[in-house]
Amino acid sequence: GAVSSIWALGTARLLGFHMDPLIIVVAFLIMARAISHAVQLVSHFDDELERGAPNSTVAAMAAMRGLFKPGMLGVVADAGCMIVVILVPIPLLQKVAIIGTVWVLTIAVSACVLTPVLLSFIKHPRRYAHGLDIQPFMRAVLNRCAALALSPMRYAAVGVTALLFVAGTLYAFNLKVGDANPGSPILWGDSPYNQDAAAINQRFQGADRMFVVVSGDKTDALKEPAALRTMAQLQAFLESQPEVGGTVSMADLVPEMKRVLREDNPRYREFGASAADNGEIMYLFTSSSDPGDIDRFVEPQYKDGSVTVFFRDHRGETIRAAVARVEAFIAAHPDSPVKIRLAGGLVGVLAAVNEIIFAKQIESIALALLVLVVCCAVTYRSLAAGMFFMVPVLLSNALTFSFMALMGIGMNINTLPIAALGIGLGVDYAFYVIDEIREELRRGQTLEQAINASLLGAGRGVLVTAATLITSVVIWYFSSIRFQAEMGLLMALWLFISAVSSLLLMPALVVILKPGFVFEPARRIQAQDQHSRQAATV
């Protein structure tokens, strides 16, 4: 993990990228992958010593040969799932995708190659580091997992999993794009910042702004009464949205100035009869105000101006409703004397980001799944292998997305990379367990023996890694930063589902479906042995 971190951070420095503090979650996910691969190698190394390997070098070489295929497959799949985020046209996400991909690829050397090298220098242990022996407990858990996969209860396990997948998928449609709660999604609702922001938004128009650009076709176009009336109509239409605290534009200045010039008589609170009248009023305003005061309403040529909309929150629903209202107004006024365009300010930027995420999240997830299928199909020379390993991925994504919807965690610029990387996270454990079953069958073991050996070997590494990492990330829930706390729970759930599916669901599916890429190598070896015996008999 340390070697991968140094290489990745050094690469980021060479490329001139900066590390956003929120990306620490992505960094932890990648560190978790490195630890997972290393634990599998250490576990296999111990097994080789127990089987009678003469020294650490032989045991390390055997561990590397046995786990090289699933280890490299996991690394390549993780990197492929991460790099697809680069297709999202947001510079921050593209930088995260590049750093994350480099970081994941370094695991191929730091974990899959360097770990066996270091293990080869370890002397045969003479005694245990402590007296606490959890091996009997782990064996009991793993034996129960194997017993479930080999008993008729496997059908019940698959049925329950199918129900959870359907329920999770349906509820995941409630996942919101953008921020799901008022205030900053990074901080807790009772943080001083969010409490102060709520008080300001309650007493004033709102702290979040969106600028709607209004343009004419010539100089002084915005002095025309028709242009000002259109701007006023747009403001009235937008102010009917509950989350909008108010609007302001040049169309507010002209009537007020005219009223002031008529001794505050409200009867004169109206636009001038011509562009010349409105221009005279605006001249009086600019001549009596400080330089630059008019710039927030209109540029000096009076051709381009803006309507500033104040919002009390910047939730995804609020932003989408505001954008939809502006678009509806534009559609309802095809003959408008001015051209209305979206949008600037914080709300405008978030609207653009949310639109891109909404359009690209399905594409990113679909491409990540395609990368997974291709990697598995190439590795095992079977398209069925790719489809088979999609099962834990689809399950973990459905349940975690439904969890995000339940907890009010929106899909935004911070959570999208985690969602893409989570696809690889959901299948890495399964690679080791299924590949071990495949190798045991090649050695001539029965299916029951292969499943038991796989779970007691690779399954032990899965159990140790999952327990360690889940305990680590659950502690994040007590963080003062809401984003880290929520991502800690999300990763804990992801790791738990991945571990449970690899220990319970995947062996059960092997027994039920009997996929060819798992059984075919053993069948070929048996056929070759039978052919050799027949040839020897002849």
Q: What is the pLDDT of residue 528?
A: 60
Q: Between β-strands 208-215 and 304-311, what pairing exists: parallel, antiparallel or unpaired?
A: antiparallel
3-state helix, strand, coil in the chain (%, to 5): 70, 5, 20
CA dihedral 387, 33, 24, 5 (to 10 degrees): -130
Could you report the per-residue pLDDT of 464-491, keeping only the tens digit for each? Answer: 888 888 888 888 888 888 888 888 888 8
d(CA 535, CA 95): 61
Within a 10 A sphere around the Cβ of 114, how many other Cβ atoms?
A: 17
Rounded (10°) angle between helices 316-332 and 345-380: 110
Within a 10 A sphere around the Cβ of 514, how many other Cβ atoms?
A: 10
Could you report the per-residue pLDDT of 162-173, keeping only the tens digit for each? Answer: 999 999 999 988
d(CA 258, CA 253): 9
pLDDT at 48 over 70: yes
- DSSP labels, 147-171: HHHHSTHHHHHHHHHHHHHHHHHHH
Q: Residue 247 pairs with which residues in a beta bridge?
A: 309
How crowded is the C-beta side of 202, counted as CA atoms within 13 Å?
8
Are residues 238 and 322 in contact, defined by beta-carbon separation less than 8 angstroms? yes
More confident site: 363 or 148: 148
The residue type found at 536 is: A
Within a 10 A sphere around the Cβ of 57, how many other Cβ atoms?
A: 15
Are residues 511 and 434 in contact, defined by beta-carbon separation less than 8 angstroms? no
In sequence order, the 6+-apart residues with CB closer than 8 A to the CB of 246 are: 205, 206, 239, 310
% pLDDT > 90, the chain: 20
More confident site: 51 or 243: 243
Q: What is the pLDDT of residue 213?
A: 93
CA 269 to the chain's CA centroid:
52
Classify the C-alpha dihedral 58-46-464-440 as positive or negative: positive
Q: What is the pLDDT of residue 167?
A: 94
Are residues 336 and 248 in contact, defined by beta-carbon separation less than 8 angstroms? no
Highest mean predicted confidence (pLDDT) among 62-76, 250-264, 295-309, 524-538: 295-309
Q: What is the pLDDT of residue 534?
A: 54
Q: Tokens standing for 242?
A: 């509950």
H or E stretch at 285: helix 275-287
H or E stretch at 382: none
Instruction: Point out the least confidently predicted range of 21-25, 64-68, 341-345, 427-431.
Output: 21-25
Q: Tokens standing for 189?
A: 């609702």
Within a 10 A sphere around the Cβ of 472, how many other Cβ atoms?
A: 17
First vs last C-alpha separation in the chain: 57
Are residues 380 and 517 in contact, defined by beta-carbon separation less than 8 angstroms? yes
SS3 of 330-361: the string is: HHHCCCCCCEEEEEEHHHHHHHHHHHHHHHHH
% pLDDT > 70, the chain: 93
Phi-psi region of 5 (alpha: psi -120 to 50; beta: other; left: phi over 0): alpha
Q: What is the pLDDT of residue 322?
A: 92
d(CA 399, CA 406): 10
Q: What is the pLDDT of residue 231?
A: 92
How large is the average pLDDT for residues 17-26?
71
pLDDT at 176 over 80: yes
Could you report the per-residue pLDDT of 107-139, keeping only the tens digit for each? Answer: 888 888 888 888 888 876 666 666 677 788 888
Q: What Rg do the C-alpha atoms of the chain give, in angstroms?
A: 31
Q: Tokens standing for 374?
A: 């291709």
Average pLDDT, the chain: 84
Q: What is the pLDDT of residue 524?
A: 65
Write down the number of H helices and E strands in the chain.
20, 4
Which residue's entry shows tokens 């605006």?
A: 282
Confidence of residue 530 (pLDDT cuts 50, 70, 90): low
Could you report the per-residue pLDDT of 266-325, keeping only the tens digit for each? Answer: 888 888 888 888 888 888 888 888 888 888 889 989 899 999 999 998 888 899 999 999
d(CA 101, CA 11): 11
SS3 of 176-212: the string is: CECCCCCCCCCECCCCHHHHHHHHHHHHCCCCEEEEE
Q: What is the pLDDT of residue 292?
A: 80
How large is the average pLDDT for residues 194-219?
89
Q: What is the pLDDT of residue 323?
A: 93
Across the beta sheet with 244-248, what order do the strands follow? 244-248, 304-311, 208-215, 339-344
Confidence of residue 233 (pLDDT cuts 50, 70, 90): very high
Confidence of residue 151 (pLDDT cuts 50, 70, 90): very high
pLDDT at 536 over 70: no
More confident site: 213 or 486: 213
Q: What is the pLDDT of residue 397?
A: 85
Q: Which domains does the chain have, with CATH numbers?
A: 1-123 (no CATH), 143-173+382-538 (1.20.1640.10), 192-351 (no CATH)
Q: Tokens standing for 101?
A: 């991909």
Best CA proximity match to 508, nearest among 374, 391, 425: 391
pLDDT at 23 over 80: no
pLDDT at 422 over 70: no
pTM to 2 decimal places: 0.79
